[in-house]
Structure 1
Amino acid sequence: MTTTVPASSRQTSVAWRRLRRNTGAMLGLGVLLLLVLSALFGPLFLGSPLEQDLGIRLQAPSAAHLLGTDQLGRDVLSRVLHGGRISLGLGVGVMLASLVSGSLIGLLAGLLGGWWDEAIMRVTDIFLAFPSLILAMAISAALGPSLTNVMIAVALVSWPAYARLIRAQVLALREREFVEAARALGSSESRIALRHLLPNTLAPLLVQGSFDVGSAILTAAGLGFIGFGAQPPTPEWGAMVSETRNYISQAPWASSAPAIAILLTVLAFNLIGDGLRDVFDPRRAR
């Protein structure tokens, strides 16, 4: 008795084999896995990131404090690892919120067409007309400095990219033969959207989403650095760099450690995004 493998499983297997052959993507996955495991389990073996000891302030890296201490005698390694939980969670949360809201808006624009499409796209163009960081700063300033408000602000400036992407995909797919066949069989527009259109947009969504996690982390760190994001003593990477920037000549490790963490995290997501783009690009696949 022979068993048949579903087409989706075969496609996933082929995509994974192609991704494994991409050196950059595998490097990005390795770095990201290391960062995630460090953020999840590292703090279990370290002290509190808020514990202060002015007697050891600005202490250089040592066996007791592997990345040294900051201006208040707090362990930099502990703060960086706790900050990883905050920054990674914030990046993934912003990406999911932007993906869901932007995809629904783009799907509606592509399906409804007419003046609905025009109205939705003009609102999208208004959001895209502003530099994303400046708009996020304005929203954060209006809502007040906090991590929750940073997530809201960054999500509000990130959804238009998904809306435009999904709208373009829906416009390209809604007249295809398999969609016309579903209509001929009596499928409703909502069923066609959920069963036939959305699954065919997953590839570009995965690519866009992987890039946007790194972008969201970088934007949130920028907001934290200028005081619109997480507030002291929260160990968020951008806020940590801001707190220790005045001591960079005395204790460069205090500000360089969170900065390097931001660099590695954004680089990892960009490498993964590049790899996914290569996997799903038909021309590169050939």
Structure 2
Amino acid sequence: MPRLLRRFLRNPGAVLGLALLLVLLLVAALGPALVGDPLEQNIGERLRPPGPAHPLGTDQLGRDVLARVVHGARISLGVGFGVVLLASALGVAVGLLAGGLGGFWDNLLMRLTDVFFAFPSLILAMAIAAALGPNLTNTVLAVALVTWPIYARLVRAQVLALREREFVEAARALGAGQGRILLKHLLPNSLTPVLVQASYEVGSAILTAAGLSFIGFGAQPPTPEWGAMVAETRNYMAEAPWAATAPAVAILLTVLAFNLLGDGLRDALDPRGR
């Protein structure tokens, strides 16, 4: 582990991504207690530029943009982590069964993943979110349902490469059943690429959820979710650009942090680079 940590820390981009992520996590954990109510309206203060009273200005309803961005950090990060947990759990289970069992089950499960890959992910997420109803919980479900095939394909490929290895053959020779081989030998050795992919997918999930909120299929006003904030204030870009710019920059920095972190994990965990 120290060697992996040293490899990770030698990557400046990875260190920057980790630092950004730590800041975002601190903002999400502690920030809401330090700023005002994100839903409090004051029409007399509407569209105020950044100043001492409102460091990031106010929006069209006089709400403090800083308070809304800070509260939105908790919401957006929660959506991103929730999507990855659901999608990876489902995808890993499907990929493990497909690669480990093979034959009929492999064909059936992989054709199912092909059905999901046949549709553009955002369009499919829009359809699912519209069918379930526009809210944050359904947004998490919709994005998870369109991203699990990525993990399924990834884990299946790992299992197919590992199931004929010597340690698996030795387990079979010692009388281990199929379930034990899958859970004790194949699953733990297939999780490294899943960890790397998950670090990328958190940022992607946050971006997709923000896109759904922007077009009305995700979080609904007045929820201080970053995509919904951009949608609410986009008509005021000419006179109050700060209202839409602040949540957009928050999305940018969050996705950048997870992408840099993913690059660092990939380089640190890649055995070919050791």
Above 0.5 in TM-score? yes
* Pairing 1:250–2:268 present: no
Q: Which residue does 1:151 correspond to in 2? A: 140
Q: Per-residue displacement from partner, 1:148-170 (whole Å, max 9, x unpaired)?
A: 11001000001000000000100
Residue 131 of structure 2 corresponds to: 142
Q: Which amino acid aligns with 1:193?
A: L
For residues 237 and 82 of structure 1, what CA distance do their matches in structure 2 show?
9
TM, length-normalised to structure 1: 0.94
Alignment-derived partner of residue 207 in structure 1 = 196
Structure-1 residue corresponding to 2:172: 183
Equivalent position SS for 2:187 = helix
CA RMSD, Structure 1 to Structure 2 (Å): 0.7
* Residue from 257, 265, 274 that aligns with 2:263: 274
Deviations 1:67-120 (A, max 9, x none): 000000000000001000000011001001111110000100011111111111
**Identical counterparts, % of pairs:** 70
The 2-side partners of 1:274 and 1:43 are apart by 30
- Counterpart for residue 155 of structure 2: 166
| 2:91 maps to 1:112 | no
- TM-superposition CA deviations, 1:5-30 (whole Å, max 9, x none): xxxxxxx2221111011111110000
One-letter amino acid matched to 2:102 = G
Whole-angstrom distance in 2 between the partners of 1:140 and 1:33: 31
Which letter does structure 1 place at the counterpart of 2:70? L
TM-score, structure 2 as length reference: 0.99
Aligned to 2:65: 76
| Partners of 2:246 and 2:212 in 1: CA distance | 18
Q: Which amino acid in the other structure matches residue 112 of structure 1? A: L
The whole-number CA distance in structure 2 between the counterparts of 1:25 and 1:190 is 37
Cα distance in 2 between the residues matched to 1:62 and 1:264? 23
1:23 aligns to 2:12 (yes or no): yes
Partner of 2:216: 227
**Counterpart for residue 4 of structure 1:** none
| SS of equivalent to 1:27 | helix
Post-superposition CA distance 1:204-228 (Å, at most 9, x none): 0111000000000000000000000
- How far off its partner does 1:202 sit? 1.8
Q: How many residues align?
A: 274
**1:284 shift after superposition:** 2.2
Measure, in 2, the Cα distance between the counterparts of 1:235 and 1:266: 18
Corresponding position of 1:130: 119
* Separation in structure 2 between the aligned mates of residue 188 and residue 77 of structure 1, nearest angstrom: 56
Give unpaired runs (5+ residues) of structure 1.
1-11
CA distance in 2 between partners of 1:202 and 1:142 (Å): 33
Pairing 1:264–2:240 present: no
Amino acid at match of 2:10: R
Structure 1 runs, 4 residues or longer, greater than 4 Å off: none
> Which residue, out of 90, 94, 106, partners 2:83?
94
Q: In structure 1, what is the Cα distance between the partners aligned to 2:59 and 2:206?
A: 22
Secondary structure, aligned partner of 1:102: helix
